[in-house]
Chain A
Amino acid sequence: MKSWIEAFSIIDFISVGILLTAVTLNAFKSIESYVKAYTINSWLLASLVAVVAVLVGETHLYIAALLTLATKGIIIPLFLRRIVRRMRVTHEIQPYISNSLSLAISGILVAVVYASLKEGIFITGFSKDVLQISIAVILISLFVMITRKMALTQAIGLLFMENGLFLAGFSLTFGMPTMIELGVLFDMLMGVIILGIFAIQIKRAFASTDLDKLTVLKG
């Protein structure tokens, strides 16, 4: 039983780390740092899955942890780096909202999540906070996508959302059946690749990765 408590604290610790890495997005400017943040985020995620796997001792959780590490922690970051290099972009241009303000708003979002998720809904499961945290991560990364102007940043924001989603799913379900997890991961991988392709397309078509150019279609 005691180990559970510790486990709880470990898990909470990790998940808070995940939240923080998401929040830091609001502070950064250079694409490199975004990718770094994402990598760390994914590693944390994978480690969390691993911890739970150790605790619960189910094989498919080990697989899940490995898969997460492989795709989110290694493949996708590498891919992102390639894209970044090919597109020769280094820094995010001035976002719509100043960093300090967006930090504040992220805080508000977290509050909203805690307020709206009523206590006592999620009594079971191994943590009461992880769900809130994961949803907060999702919302914050969405907020980042809203405020940032570069195609690539939005792709990364989406990836963060998916991490948050993964976390949520995990905290709610102890991991889905393996086959489904595979499917989900595969979809996401595909999605990222397509996003990358399109990001390059945009660069080619609009001679810029600035989303301000992408407002021809309107009305």
Chain B
Amino acid sequence: METEQLLHFGISLFAVGALSALVPVKTFRIVPYLLSLIGSLFFLSLGLILTVITPASYQALPASSIFEFSLRGDALAGFFVITISLVASAVSVYSIGFTRNYVYAGLSGFFTNILILSLYSVVLSANLFTFLISWETMAIASYFLITLDRSDETSRAGLFYAVMTHIGTAFIIALFFILYRFTNRMDFEGMKAGIASMPTAVKTVVFIFALIGFGTKAGIVPLHTWIPRAYPVAPPHIAALMSGLMIKMGIYGFLRISFDVLGQGPEWWGITVISVGAVSALLGILYGLIENDLKVFLAYSSVENVGIILLGIGASMMFKSNGLATLSSLALTAALFHVLNHALFKGVLFLGAGSVIHTTGSGNMEHMGGLLKRMPVTGLFFLAGALSICALPPFNGFASEWLTYQALLLGYQSPSVTAKIVSPLGGAALALTGALAAAGFVKAFGITFLGAPRTAESRDAGEVPLPMVVGMAFLAIPCLLFGLFPGPALSFLMPAVYAMTGASTTLEQHGMLGVGQTSAAVSPIGMLATMAAMMIAVMLFIRMKGGVRKTVYGDSWGCGTPGLTPRMQYTATAFTKPLRIIYKRIYLPRRDIKVQYLLKPFFVKSIHYGSEITPFFERYVYEPATRFIQAVASKVKLLQSGSLNLYLGYILITLILLLIFAT
């Protein structure tokens, strides 16, 4: 089938899906998601055509004038289309189960279809106008999905999100117009073609605007503040879409502009991006670690992973400007691979968290525990996601992070000293991030799924309906497969990498993930095989030496005193207490302890312990800015004091000034 036909079919499927969601029939609720599932499969094939089968760009819906809709696809777009399709299809399946008894099923179905469609059209848009329309449609749709339950709380979160993203859009519009001004074209092709005439200073401005504008959407620190507000209030399937895909649109836009259109820039661009990435990764996970709300934690972890992706991109830019094409392609491959992987495992994690919250009715880890026995499949998939996001072999996260390590370590080959030093430091940051993430997910999985249930809700919890489980499987299984066989995944993104860096390295041959320049290689499948072999061996050995032994079940050991209650378990707060102390310079924690005495100082009645950290950026960046604007506004408000005489005075003054100065 022709690409155009595929495109049109896909679009119309989503459109119909969106409309069908408005049919207020309960049995009908499955339809929109079925349609979006089929639609995303159509787009998946489109993406495959664009990347694997015939990596050629095509032009559909050609634009007649500047403000016309126009879609086109190339290798980069194709890769993102594939990523979107994988997650979107899974989310569609999950939603079938989730929205069965969902109050806002109709609206959610409508806007979910719109959102997915807008994601596609963002990556496929050929010109400025199409991009902006799709971009804002995406923002609006997600805004309505965040505020779905229309409570004041969610509407505040939604407002904050909308305003942040709108500021970002302002920067994007500005940079588009700068590009247009210097290239006289409004389509990306044309901009790319005419970029040569653009002075470097202007390019730099565009680059910085791109970093800010798209960074807001991608959630780089310090523009990340909307993420931990918006995701937790969003319904799970939407949170998965937003965190898995929507913030990747920021990455896409940044790549499209700073890589594809601007081409090669000075070295410090790359270094800037690396630094931003490192800071985002570290602060993101650090702030996430101490959160006890499952979704907030996952949200922060998204910030972290965007940071990791930016590490790769920055390294690639840096190498490119140092003339190391192959290295640049390696770094970019790592980054794009991590884009795909993060979409998968963050998707499964959010869906899992959604299922958990769906059943226990609370997002707070402190209210959970022992869920693995009650929702085994969900727990298993969540564990898979956690292992992947911690980059533990043999899952996919390991593959992409390993590539990132390789790229950063090879930075010493670049001629400039800064690059030599910056890149291994990026590696160190990555290592620290990895360790922090591991701690975070031990906490997230351990406190939530292990131990004894802390509330009645989690004690009576049960497994979620089949479609939700299947939806998670859609994402969890690729997490493992792409880890074991990186080949297919890499083939999705190689054409894009080649198109943008002019070089490509074959990184994967017969099951080994290897980097030519270093002759370093890993074979996840080999590791898995070895583990399996070892497992068999050790079991046999135990059987031989130890024979069959029975297992005695009893209470956990409580220092000999019986009656250990779930409340005596280690809490999520306690788990990260050491970190709060060690990193107090970052968290700036504040604790207040109120002790009530029966008889001072011996008999304590009650001790209230409260501890909170300072939200640095909110307190020292956002709030002052807001206060300033409000203050100015309230001053300006005096202009309209209600006195007619004053108004007449304005007329007279204006007139006289004009008479004096304008004539």
Q: Which A residues are within 8 Å of any B CB, using their own CB?
A: 96, 109, 112-113, 115-116, 118, 139, 142-143, 145-149, 154, 211-212, 214-219
Contacts and interface: CB of A to CB of B under 8 A. Distances in A.
Interface in B206-265: none
A145 to B, nearest CB: 5
B652 A142 contact: yes
Most B CB contacts (10 A, CB to CB) among A115, A149, A218 go to A218
B651 interface: yes
A149 B659 CA distance: 27
Given A139-B655, A139-B656, A212-B643, 11 more contacts: A115-B660, A139-B652, A142-B652, A145-B648, A148-B645, A211-B644, A211-B645, A216-B642, A217-B642, A219-B637, A219-B642
Nearest to B651: A142
A191 to B, nearest CB: 16
Contact of A147 (B645, B651, B656, B659): B645
Contact of A218 (B642, B645, B648, B652): B642
A97 to B, nearest CB: 10
Given A142-B652, A146-B652, A215 B641 contact: yes
Contacts of B197: none
Interface in B628-663: 637, 640-645, 648-649, 651-652, 655-656, 659-660, 663
A215 B660 contact: no
Interface in B181-199: none
Given A142-B651, A142-B652, A219-B637, A214 B659 contact: no
Contacts of B659: 112-113, 116
Nearest to A151: B644
Instruction: Identify whether the interface residues of A are mostly helix, strand, loop, or mixed.
Output: helix
A116 B61 CA distance: 58
B135 to A, nearest CB: 35
Chain B at the A interface: SS class = helix
A112 B661 CA distance: 12
A218 B644 contact: no
Nearest to A154: B644
Nearest to A135: B659
Contact of B645 (A96, A113, A115, A217): A96
Given A116-B660, A116-B663, A215 B652 contact: no
B642 A118 contact: no
Interface in B91-137: none
A148 B645 CA distance: 8
A109 B659 CA distance: 11
A149 B645 CA distance: 8
19 contacts: A96-B645, A112-B656, A113-B659, A116-B663, A118-B663, A139-B656, A142-B652, A143-B652, A145-B645, A146-B649, A148-B645, A154-B644, A211-B643, A214-B642, A215-B642, A216-B642, A218-B640, A219-B640, A219-B642
Contacts of A216: 642
Nearest to B663: A116
Contact of A112 (B643, B644, B660): B660
Interface residues of B, number: 16
A154 B663 CA distance: 29
Nearest to A215: B642
Closest 4 CB pairs of A and B: A218-B642, A215-B642, A116-B659, A146-B648
A133 to B, nearest CB: 16
Contacts of A115: 660
Given A146-B652, A219-B637, A214 B660 contact: no
Contacts of B651: 142
Most buried by A among B640, B644, B645, B655: B645
Nearest to B653: A146
Nearest to A149: B645
B645 A146 contact: yes
A149 B641 CA distance: 15
Contacts of B644: 154, 211, 214
A143 to B, nearest CB: 7
Nearest to A116: B659
B278 to A, nearest CB: 47
A115 B649 CA distance: 20
Nearest to B660: A116
Contacts of A139: 652, 655-656
A145 B659 CA distance: 20
Nearest to A142: B652
A197 to B, nearest CB: 17
B127 to A, nearest CB: 42
Nearest to B644: A211
A200 to B, nearest CB: 17
A147 to B, nearest CB: 7
B270 to A, nearest CB: 50
Contacts of B649: 146
A148 B649 CA distance: 12
A78 to B, nearest CB: 26
A132 B652 CA distance: 16
A118 B550 CA distance: 112
B640 to A, nearest CB: 6
Contacts of B652: 139, 142-143, 146
A126 to B, nearest CB: 23
Contacts of A146: 645, 648-649, 652
A96 B645 CA distance: 9
Contacts of B640: 218-219
Nearest to A113: B659
Interface in B9-64: none
B648 to A, nearest CB: 5
Contacts of A219: 637, 640, 642
A219 B388 CA distance: 56
Contacts of B637: 219
B643 A142 contact: no
B638 to A, nearest CB: 9
B483 to A, nearest CB: 61
A150 B4 CA distance: 73
B635 to A, nearest CB: 12
B656 A218 contact: no
A217 B646 CA distance: 13
A149 B648 CA distance: 12
A215 B660 CA distance: 31
Interface in B355-372: none
B98 to A, nearest CB: 46
A212 B644 CA distance: 9
Contacts of A116: 659-660, 663
A118 B640 CA distance: 35
Contacts of A211: 643-645
Contacts of A147: 645
A148 B641 CA distance: 17
Contacts of B660: 112, 115-116
